[in-house]
Amino acid sequence: MKLIIINGPNLNLLGRREPEVYGNQSFEDYFATLQFKFKTTQLEYFQSNIEGGIIDKLHEVGFSYDGIILNAAAYTHTSVGIGDAVKAIEAPVVEVHISNTFKREDYRHHSYISAGAKGVIVGFGLQSYDLAIQSLIA
Protein backbone atom coordinates (compact mmCIF):
# COMPACT_ATOMS: atom_id res chain seq x y z
CA MET A 1 0.00 0.00 0.00
CA LYS A 2 1.33 3.41 -0.99
CA LEU A 3 0.22 6.43 1.07
CA ILE A 4 1.35 10.03 1.23
CA ILE A 5 0.96 12.64 3.92
CA ILE A 6 0.59 16.14 2.54
CA ASN A 7 0.99 19.01 4.99
CA GLY A 8 0.18 22.63 4.32
CA PRO A 9 1.47 25.99 5.46
CA ASN A 10 3.45 26.45 8.66
CA LEU A 11 3.44 22.76 9.51
CA ASN A 12 7.15 22.73 8.72
CA LEU A 13 7.45 24.61 12.03
CA LEU A 14 5.95 21.86 14.18
CA GLY A 15 7.91 21.48 17.38
CA ARG A 16 8.68 25.20 17.44
CA ARG A 17 5.38 26.85 16.52
CA GLU A 18 2.81 27.31 19.28
CA PRO A 19 3.81 24.21 21.25
CA GLU A 20 0.78 24.67 23.52
CA VAL A 21 -1.42 23.96 20.47
CA TYR A 22 0.78 21.72 18.29
CA GLY A 23 3.19 20.06 20.73
CA ASN A 24 6.99 19.95 20.89
CA GLN A 25 7.81 17.29 18.29
CA SER A 26 8.87 18.07 14.73
CA PHE A 27 6.88 16.38 12.00
CA GLU A 28 10.02 14.79 10.60
CA ASP A 29 10.62 13.03 13.93
CA TYR A 30 7.01 11.91 14.13
CA PHE A 31 7.08 10.74 10.50
CA ALA A 32 9.99 8.41 11.36
CA THR A 33 7.80 6.93 14.11
CA LEU A 34 4.98 6.37 11.61
CA GLN A 35 7.35 4.69 9.15
CA PHE A 36 8.57 2.36 11.89
CA LYS A 37 5.03 1.54 13.05
CA PHE A 38 3.62 0.95 9.55
CA LYS A 39 6.59 -0.97 8.09
CA THR A 40 4.51 -2.80 5.48
CA THR A 41 3.05 0.46 4.14
CA GLN A 42 5.04 2.70 1.82
CA LEU A 43 4.72 6.12 3.45
CA GLU A 44 5.82 9.37 1.85
CA TYR A 45 5.69 12.93 3.08
CA PHE A 46 5.32 16.28 1.32
CA GLN A 47 4.97 19.75 2.82
CA SER A 48 4.34 23.07 1.11
CA ASN A 49 3.54 26.57 2.26
CA ILE A 50 2.21 27.28 -1.23
CA GLU A 51 -1.38 26.49 -2.21
CA GLY A 52 -0.47 25.63 -5.81
CA GLY A 53 2.23 23.22 -4.63
CA ILE A 54 -0.36 21.29 -2.65
CA ILE A 55 -2.75 21.19 -5.62
CA ASP A 56 0.05 20.05 -7.94
CA LYS A 57 1.02 17.26 -5.53
CA LEU A 58 -2.61 16.11 -5.22
CA HIS A 59 -2.83 15.94 -9.03
CA GLU A 60 0.51 14.09 -9.22
CA VAL A 61 -0.35 11.34 -6.72
CA GLY A 62 -4.14 11.33 -6.81
CA PHE A 63 -4.46 8.70 -9.52
CA SER A 64 -1.66 6.33 -8.54
CA TYR A 65 -1.48 6.23 -4.72
CA ASP A 66 -3.74 4.16 -2.49
CA GLY A 67 -4.53 7.03 -0.16
CA ILE A 68 -3.69 10.56 0.90
CA ILE A 69 -3.60 12.05 4.38
CA LEU A 70 -4.08 15.79 3.96
CA ASN A 71 -3.56 18.48 6.55
CA ALA A 72 -4.05 21.60 4.46
CA ALA A 73 -3.72 23.71 7.62
CA ALA A 74 -5.06 27.24 7.11
CA TYR A 75 -5.85 26.47 3.45
CA THR A 76 -8.55 24.11 4.74
CA HIS A 77 -10.67 27.14 5.52
CA THR A 78 -9.82 29.28 2.49
CA SER A 79 -8.95 27.17 -0.55
CA VAL A 80 -11.72 26.26 -2.93
CA GLY A 81 -8.91 25.10 -5.26
CA ILE A 82 -7.60 22.46 -2.87
CA GLY A 83 -11.15 21.34 -2.16
CA ASP A 84 -11.79 20.98 -5.89
CA ALA A 85 -8.52 19.05 -6.35
CA VAL A 86 -9.56 16.57 -3.65
CA LYS A 87 -12.87 16.01 -5.47
CA ALA A 88 -11.12 15.62 -8.84
CA ILE A 89 -8.75 12.78 -7.92
CA GLU A 90 -9.40 9.07 -7.42
CA ALA A 91 -7.32 8.31 -4.31
CA PRO A 92 -9.25 8.51 -1.05
CA VAL A 93 -8.29 11.52 1.07
CA VAL A 94 -8.47 11.66 4.84
CA GLU A 95 -8.50 15.22 6.14
CA VAL A 96 -6.45 15.62 9.31
CA HIS A 97 -6.03 18.40 11.86
CA ILE A 98 -3.71 18.28 14.85
CA SER A 99 -5.78 20.69 16.93
CA ASN A 100 -9.52 20.60 17.47
CA THR A 101 -10.47 23.27 14.94
CA PHE A 102 -13.93 23.52 16.48
CA LYS A 103 -12.44 24.80 19.75
CA ARG A 104 -10.64 27.57 17.86
CA GLU A 105 -11.66 30.68 15.94
CA ASP A 106 -15.01 30.58 14.14
CA TYR A 107 -13.44 30.79 10.68
CA ARG A 108 -11.68 27.47 11.37
CA HIS A 109 -15.04 25.70 11.72
CA HIS A 110 -15.56 25.45 7.94
CA SER A 111 -13.58 23.19 5.61
CA TYR A 112 -13.51 23.30 1.84
CA ILE A 113 -11.91 19.83 1.89
CA SER A 114 -14.36 17.81 4.00
CA ALA A 115 -16.99 17.42 1.27
CA GLY A 116 -14.52 15.52 -0.91
CA ALA A 117 -12.78 13.59 1.85
CA LYS A 118 -13.33 9.98 2.86
CA GLY A 119 -13.30 11.19 6.47
CA VAL A 120 -12.03 13.84 8.84
CA ILE A 121 -9.88 13.37 11.96
CA VAL A 122 -9.65 16.40 14.23
CA GLY A 123 -8.00 17.17 17.53
CA PHE A 124 -5.89 14.14 18.47
CA GLY A 125 -2.53 15.85 18.11
CA LEU A 126 0.01 14.11 15.91
CA GLN A 127 -1.82 10.85 16.59
CA SER A 128 -4.42 12.14 14.10
CA TYR A 129 -2.04 11.01 11.32
CA ASP A 130 -1.74 7.55 12.86
CA LEU A 131 -5.53 7.27 12.96
CA ALA A 132 -5.78 8.40 9.33
CA ILE A 133 -3.30 5.75 8.20
CA GLN A 134 -5.20 3.09 10.13
CA SER A 135 -8.43 4.17 8.42
CA LEU A 136 -6.85 3.79 4.98
CA ILE A 137 -5.21 0.41 5.54
CA ALA A 138 -8.18 -1.18 7.31
- Decide: helix, strand or coil at residue 93: strand
Give catalytic status of residue 22 as yes or no.
yes
Instruction: List the alpha helices (DSSP H) in 7-126.
Output: 19-22, 27-37, 51-61, 80-88
From the candidates 30, 65, 97, 112, which is the catalytic residue?
A: 97
List 22, 30, 45, 65, catalytic entry? 22
Half-sphere exposure of 76 (CA within 13 A, CB side): 28
Taking CA atoms, 21 is separated from 5, 15, 26, in Å, by 20, 10, 13
Active site residue 45: no
CA–CA gap between residue 42 and residue 134 (Å, rounded): 13
Amino acid at 43: L
Of 123, 122, 119, 115, which Cα lies nearest the Cα of 138? 119
Catalytic residues: 22, 97
